[in-house]
Amino acid sequence: MPEKIIELKNVNIYQGANLVLQEVNIAIEKGEFVYLVGKTGTGKSSLLKTLYGDLALTQGEGTVVGFNLKEMDWKKVPFLRRNLGVVFQDFQLLTDRNVNDNLKFVLKATGWKDEKLMDEKISDVLDKVGLKSKGFKMPFEMSGGEQQRVDIARALLNSPKLILADEPTGNLDPETSDEIMQLLFRISRDYGTTIVMATHDYIVINKFPARTIKTEKGRVEDNATISMS
């Protein structure tokens, strides 16, 4: 049977006392590429935050990469996140150090000690995103597309089963956006990495069709052929 990377059953998601999404039932398998769409304020971010342990799951059942979300506490969240990669819209790179040192910072923060192994891993992920020779560059010397590739390389460092990408093409021009989408689809296909990508960009979805989950009116609709209204 295919491995389930995300499974939510009868989940209610709250922001404070507010019920944002109710009766969420989702199962996403290894290697799937899934879009998460929905207007601002419909619970898309809250759903993502629940998946990476930023919002506590209080009602319903949920597992992400084998971790029970009901049992998450501040001690367990770092272990969950080591099995995830998160890609942000605004890159969130450390501006005072080069690409290699940005990536090394993450490895050290997640418990890596051996310098040689760290260097090998950094070289490997930069190669996967097409930046093998750019490790010495500072973020400000790179284009937006290159910075987003570094962000994706960073998400790959701990060989995650799941990447959560939050509007990864939001700040990019159409051509660069296409390149990033091709890269994400390739990672999903070649390494069996599950990718859940939140986006507002229906041009991207139409160009690179995949299963689509939509937050709307307090519910989650899961349907690969959802009308793009």
Nearest to 4 by CA among 65, 70, 71: 65
The whole-angstrom separation of Cα 179 and Cα 144 is 12
List the chain residues with pLDDT less than 70: 223-229
pLDDT digits (tens, 9 = 90+) for 35-88: 999 988 889 989 999 998 989 999 999 999 999 999 988 888 888 988 899 887
Angle at 194 between CA 190 and CA 183, to 5 degrees: 50
Given this model, what pLDDT does residue 78 score? 84
What would the two tokens of residue 47 be? 């759903």
Given this model, what pLDDT does residue 225 score? 44
pLDDT digits (tens, 9 = 90+) for 102-113: 999 999 988 899
pTM assigned to the model: 0.90
